Amino acid sequence: MTGKIIALAALIFFMSILHRGNASRILCVFPSASVSHQVVFRGLTLALRERGHDLVVVTPNPVRDPNLKNYTEIDVSFLYEENYETDYIELRRNARWIDWFWNVTPILHLFGEKTFDHPEFKKIYAPDSGEEFDLMLTETLYWPAFLALGKRFDVPIIGMTSLGLALNLQYSVGNPILTSHQSNWDLAMKEVSDSPTLFERLKNFYDVWKFIYNYNTEFMPAQHAIAKKYLGNEIPELGEIERNLSLIFANQQGPISYLRPNVPNVIEIGNFHVSKKIKPLSKDLQKTLDESKQGFIYMSLGSNVKSTMLDKKSRSEFIAAFSKLPYTVIWKFEDEFLPGKPDNVIIIKWAPQQAILAHPNLKAFVYQGGLQSTEEAISHGVPVIGFPVMADQDMNVNKMVSLGVGKKLEITDVKRDDLIEAIQSVATDGSYKQRMLNLRELLKDRPYDSLKNAVWWTEHVIRHRDVPHLRSSTADEPWYQRGDMDVIFLIATVFVISVMTASAVLYQLLVYSMKIFGNQQSVNRKEKLK
Ligand SMILES: *[C@@H]1O[C@H](CO)[C@@H](O)[C@H](O)[C@H]1NC(C)=O
Ligand SMILES: CC(=O)N[C@H]1CO[C@H](CO)[C@@H](O)[C@@H]1O
């Protein structure tokens, strides 16, 4: 009897060891003060928690659910208060994203410092904290300082982005740098062309390489200084840690992005934040939408760009266009009052977007082209009218237009007639809707669920403590070897020198023979005269 009990106790003991053996501790650092980024990361962190892992998550959008065990949140929501009120629409008139980046670097550094400075976070990374982790997950957009934490805890790092990879990351993971390819959302503000001229490509080449150069020689060292300030001087060069990232989860699903070659440790993700269970609408809104028998239009410029940023003229164009529509318009407008609001327009400060998109009476979604909103529109089969403002939004809307599921208009030059025409054709011509439904089917038709796949890869990295077999040595190539720039330069130089030498020799020969010929003639002439 006692023998049996001892055996049972031993079994339970070993089972618990085994169980602990499968559960890992994961440090997650996601400092972007932007909800649309955070909802993507949260999709993965909650799924990892479900799998039994223990997570510490640094985020400005904590879930704050006391029932979530093994999920410690370090709340950096104060970063939203530090947030600068940028008028992105005004910005669009004046700059390309790739140039504008340099205006926000002070803010990026400040956010980095403020996050490192958080007392709860300090307790985690302090040298004597006793904290141990098996993996670090972090947003790889413009936050290289946090990569140093991977060294502090001696863990592999998985990078993650809520949109396609930024140029700086394309470079550091060893992807080919395609200076004029449409997947470079960094280049876009307005002027993205599917068939750029030679001159435009020259300009893109210059801009892209200048950005990569400045990023690595100015931005990285400043971030390195921040990392050293909080973690000590032992921190290796951040660029080297970045080149060693185990995996990168990139939010770019094939059917809805401009395809490009990626190194094998870039793993496509998507739709992490799209809810399977939609929360019901408020009674009022539900009633309004149900009663919109003609259908309704939903307009939102997202969480970063606000409709209140529209200048008077653009606003009045929107109002004039909406007032002529036979539909109800639900407008996410962040103010109490919209002067001149037509009767068929309802303004709401905050919109339960997925529930609105799910309503069967919805005809079209007027939006800013954010990737998360695009994914939501597709998953509810709603055609779109895009007014892109910044970052990857032009690219997303261009792709939607090329797939025939939407139209593109210009936010800095809103014209009521164009808007009416766009809404009417998308709403009444059923082919937009049909193509959107087809696209939804295409996205769903895949061998695995994207989120489960990302969980599998995360655990794969933990199991093997890194995945060097997926890493391409292209990441180690210096810039001048990428695309064989040095070889092309050498060939071009040799060619130019040869042509110049040959021309010089030919010229000399010509001059020499002219002389002889000239002499000959004058001799002949003299002889004739005799
Ligand atoms: C990067 O990986 C290589 C090969 O595994 C290793 O030798 C090097 O120390 C790593 N560098 C950093 C900064 O982690
Ligand atoms: C790995 C780990 O720390 N798991 C913990 C999850 O939470 C339960 C109960 O809250 C703990 O018993 C585990 O140790």
SS3 232: coil
Asked if 188 contacts 394 with a C-beta cutoff of 8 angstroms, the reply is yes
The CATH classification of domain 2-269, taken from the options 3.40.50, 1.10.1740, 3.30.70, 3.40.600: 3.40.50
**Ligand 2 neighbourhood includes 54 CB (under 6 angstroms):** yes
Our mutation pick for probing the ligand 1 site, out of 149, 240, 245, 472, counting the most ligand atoms within 8 A of Cβ, is: 240
**Ligand 1 neighbourhood includes 191 CB (under 6 angstroms):** no
**Rounded Cα gap, residues 317 and 419, in angstroms:** 9
What is the position in ligand 1's atom list of the atom closest to the CA of 241? 13
| Residue owning the nearest CA to atom 2 of ligand 2 | 54
Burial of 192 (0-12, 13-18, 19+ CB in 10 A): buried
**Ligand 2 neighbourhood includes 23 CB (under 6 angstroms):** yes
**Ligand 1 neighbourhood includes 244 CB (under 6 angstroms):** yes
What pLDDT is stored for residue 189 in this prediction? 61
Ligand nearest to the CA of 156: 1
Ligand 1 center from residue 244 Cα (angstroms): 6
Q: How far is CA 245 from the centre of its chain?
A: 17
**Ligand 2 neighbourhood includes 131 CB (under 6 angstroms):** no
- The DSSP-derived string for 55-118 is EEEEESS----TT-TTEEEEE-THHHHH-----HHHHHHH--HHHHHHHHHHHHHHHHHHHHT-
Ligand nearest to the CA of 52: 2
Ligand 2 center from residue 251 Cα (angstroms): 31
**Ligand 2 neighbourhood includes 69 CB (under 6 angstroms):** yes
H helices present in 135-252, as ranges:
148-153, 167-173, 198-214, 220-231, 238-243
Ligand 1 center from residue 444 Cα (angstroms): 38
What is the position in ligand 1's atom list of the atom closest to the CA of 236? 13
Ligand nearest to the CA of 154: 1
Q: Token pair 């069967």 is at which residue?
A: 360
**Ligand 1 neighbourhood includes 240 CB (under 6 angstroms):** yes
**Ligand 2 neighbourhood includes 72 CB (under 6 angstroms):** no
| Residue owning the nearest CA to atom 7 of ligand 2 | 70
**φ/ψ bin of 260: left (φ > 0), alpha (ψ from -120 to 50), beta (otherwise):** beta
What is the position in ligand 1's atom list of the atom closest to the CA of 237? 13
Domains 2-269 and 283-444 belong to one CATH topology: yes
| Residue owning the nearest CA to atom 10 of ligand 2 | 69
Ligand 2 center from residue 54 Cα (angstroms): 7
What pLDDT is stored for residue 351 in this prediction? 93
Residues in CB range of 485: below 8 A, 6 or more apart = 479
What CATH code would you report for 283-444? 3.40.50.2000
Ligand 2 center from residue 456 Cα (angstroms): 21
| Residue owning the nearest CA to atom 2 of ligand 1 | 244
Asked if 425 contacts 416 with a C-beta cutoff of 8 angstroms, the reply is no
**Ligand 1 neighbourhood includes 161 CB (under 6 angstroms):** no
Ligand 1 center from residue 236 Cα (angstroms): 10
* Structure token digits, residue 308: 């209140």
**Rounded Cα gap, residues 369 and 385, in angstroms:** 8
Q: What is the CA radius of gyration of the chain?
A: 30
**Ligand 2 neighbourhood includes 75 CB (under 6 angstroms):** no
Ligand 2 center from residue 67 Cα (angstroms): 13
Q: Tens-of-pLDDT digits for all 530 residues of the chain?
A: 566 666 655 555 555 544 445 799 999 999 999 999 999 999 999 999 999 999 999 999 999 999 999 999 999 999 998 766 678 888 888 877 888 888 889 999 999 999 999 999 999 999 999 999 999 999 999 999 999 999 999 999 999 999 999 999 999 999 999 999 989 998 876 566 678 899 999 999 999 999 999 999 999 999 999 999 999 999 999 999 999 999 999 999 999 999 999 999 999 999 999 988 899 999 999 999 999 999 999 999 998 888 888 999 999 999 999 999 999 999 999 998 999 999 999 999 999 999 999 999 999 999 999 999 999 999 999 999 999 998 899 999 999 999 999 999 999 999 999 999 999 999 999 999 999 999 999 999 999 999 999 999 999 999 999 999 999 999 999 999 999 999 999 999 999 999 999 999 999 999 999 988 888 877 777 777 66
**Ligand 2 neighbourhood includes 12 CB (under 6 angstroms):** no
Q: Spell out the domain ranges in the chain.
A: 2-269, 283-444, 477-504
| Residue owning the nearest CA to atom 6 of ligand 2 | 70
Asked if 6 contacts 35 with a C-beta cutoff of 8 angstroms, the reply is no
Burial of 158 (0-12, 13-18, 19+ CB in 10 A): buried
Ligand 2 center from residue 72 Cα (angstroms): 11
Ligand 1 center from residue 245 Cα (angstroms): 10
**Ligand 2 neighbourhood includes 70 CB (under 6 angstroms):** yes
**Ligand 1 neighbourhood includes 221 CB (under 6 angstroms):** no
**Rounded Cα gap, residues 371 and 302, in angstroms:** 10
**Ligand 1 neighbourhood includes 241 CB (under 6 angstroms):** yes
**Rounded Cα gap, residues 128 and 117, in angstroms:** 17
Amino acid at 153: F
**Ligand 1 neighbourhood includes 476 CB (under 6 angstroms):** no
**Ligand 2 neighbourhood includes 17 CB (under 6 angstroms):** no
What pLDDT is stored for residue 156 in this prediction? 98
> Which of the 8 DSSP states describes residue 219?
I
